[in-house]
């Protein structure tokens, strides 16, 4: 079924090895995150799978070890919908790990019914943006000590349909589940852009990306008819292995070492929307994120 889509997609591959590198991947128990973990484990990295459900995570660790023949794969509890969990995870990493070379902010939730995180953020902006913003902030000193290092934010082409509602970022006045997803994915692109500026000259580079339209559990909140449409268009979509390629490309491709802050798709630089290049909104989002998370990050 994937053959039609494969025919049109250029392929990328790299023999780049990652021995002596430590990688954290959020939401690595399934979908794109798990396939990314398998690939980077095959390259010899130490893989830390940051997951909210430890039963699913243990099963995924087993699968990653079996597929990669790399025993240096562990999971650790991380619930991005709870800043307490994020802080505990970061404390553990900062205490136990001597280095962190690659952080892949991959976890995500899409078009869910209205809900709030433990900190009162709307679920999609809370998990997809605020959670990863705080996680990156808490791990940044370790990442800076581990250069060359990379931070990868898995966004989506859906960012281009979104805008940042600075007056009502948590959709408390009105909730459009698609709009809230697009807002969160635009926030990923803007965060990457802002972060790159702040990391200039540190040896840490950062990338955002669209993985493609990928058959994963992400579609779990779609309605019955929407699920049917996804089945019909499935020959044009990617499987999880294919969907992981741009994350892997951003994590390992040597020629990207001199680039930072950009947006990628199909293992190549891509154009993000005009809103994704708006530095004024990016700065305002940065300030609002710091304020709502009660952190100081100039
Ligand atoms: N699939 C696509 O077509 C597509 C397209 C564009 C962008 N993306 C992006 O790709 C990324 C990966 O998605 P996917 O397609 O692989 O979806 P997926 O199979 O649903 O995986 C999402 C992962 O995020 C985890 N997660 C959700 N909420 C979390 C929380 N509060 N704390 C920690 N982890 C949490 C999930 O854990 P559980 O298993 O416990 O729920 C799961 O491991 C997402 O950022 C998504 O926005 C996907």
User: Which ligand 1 atom is at minimum distance from the Cα of 212?
Assistant: 5
DSSP assignments along 2-35, one per residue: THHHHHHSPP-------TT-EEEEETTTSHHHHH
DSSP 8-state symbol, 148: S
The whole-model pTM stands at 0.97
CA nearest to 217, candidates 29, 2, 25: 29
Domain parsing of the chain, residue ranges: 18-293
User: What per-residue confidence (pLDDT) applies to 11?
Assistant: 82
**Distant-in-sequence, close-in-space partners of 105: CB < 8 Å, separation ≥ 6:** 26, 132, 135, 136, 151, 152, 153, 154, 188
User: What per-residue confidence (pLDDT) applies to 9?
Assistant: 59
In which element (H, E) is residue 77 found? strand 73-77
**Tens-of-pLDDT digits for all 298 residues of the chain?**
444 555 565 689 999 999 999 999 999 999 999 999 999 999 999 999 999 999 999 999 999 999 999 999 999 999 999 999 999 999 999 999 999 999 999 999 999 999 999 999 999 999 999 999 999 999 999 999 999 999 999 999 999 999 999 999 999 999 999 999 999 999 999 999 999 999 999 999 999 999 999 999 998 999 999 889 988 999 999 999 999 999 999 999 999 999 999 999 999 999 999 999 999 999 999 999 999 999 999 9
Residue 181 a catalytic site member: yes
CB 212 within 8 A of CB 246: yes
CB 253 within 8 A of CB 14: yes
Cβ < 6 A, ligand 1 pocket: 26-27, 29-33, 51-53, 56, 78-81, 106-110, 127, 154, 156, 210-211, 213-214, 216-218
Identify the bridge partners of residue 262 per DSSP, sorted by sequence position: 207
In which element (H, E) is residue 269 found? strand 268-269
CA nearest to 252, candidates 30, 43, 27: 43
| Rounded distance between C-alpha atoms, residue 209 and residue 217, angstroms | 19
Q: Report the half-sphere exposure of 207 (CA within 13 A, side-chain side).
A: 28
Mutate to test the pocket of ligand 1, among 5, 26, 27 (most ligand atoms within 8 A of CB): 27
Looking at the domain 18-293, which fold is it?
A: Rossmann fold (3.40.50)
User: What per-residue confidence (pLDDT) applies to 1?
Assistant: 44
CB 45 within 8 A of CB 22: yes
DSSP 8-state symbol, 105: E
Out of 137, 181, 249, 264, which one is annotated catalytic?
Answer: 181
């Amino acid at each position: 079924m994937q053959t039609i889509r494969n025919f049109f997609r250029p392929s990328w591959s790299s023999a780049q090895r990652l021995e002596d590198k430590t990688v954290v991947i959020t939401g690595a128990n399934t979908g794109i995150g798990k396939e990314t973990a398998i690939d980077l484990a095959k390259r010899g990295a130490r893989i830390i799978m940051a997951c909210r459900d430890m039963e699913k995570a243990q099963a995924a660790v087993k699968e990653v070890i079996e597929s990669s023949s790399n025993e240096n794969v562990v999971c650790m509890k991380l619930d991005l919908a709870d800043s307490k969990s994020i802080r505990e995870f970061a404390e553990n990493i900062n205490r136990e790990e001597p280095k962190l070379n690659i952080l892949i902010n991959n976890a995500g939730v899409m078009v869910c019914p209205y809900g709030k995180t433990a900190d009162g953020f709307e679920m999609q902006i809370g998990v997809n943006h605020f959670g990863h913003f705080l996680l990156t902030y808490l791990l940044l000193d370790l990442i800076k000590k581990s250069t060359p290092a990379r931070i990868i934010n898995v966004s989506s082409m859906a960012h281009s349909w979104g805008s940042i509602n600075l007056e009502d970022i948590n959709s408390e006045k009105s909730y459009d589940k698609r709009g809230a997803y697009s807002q969160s994915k635009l926030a990923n692109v803007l965060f990457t852009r802002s972060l790159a500026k702040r990391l200039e000259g540190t040896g840490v580079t950062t990338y955002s990306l669209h993985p493609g339209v990928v058959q994963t559990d992400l579609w779990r909140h779609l309605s019955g008819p929407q699920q049917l449409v996804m089945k019909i268009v499935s020959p044009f979509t990617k499987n999880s292995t294919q969907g992981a390629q741009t994350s892997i490309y951003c994590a390992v491709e040597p020629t990207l070492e001199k680039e930072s802050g950009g947006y990628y798709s199909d293992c190549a630089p891509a154009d993000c929307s005009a809103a994704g290049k708006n530095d004024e909104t990016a700065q305002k989002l940065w300030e609002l994120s710091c304020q709502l998370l009660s952190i100081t990050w100039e």
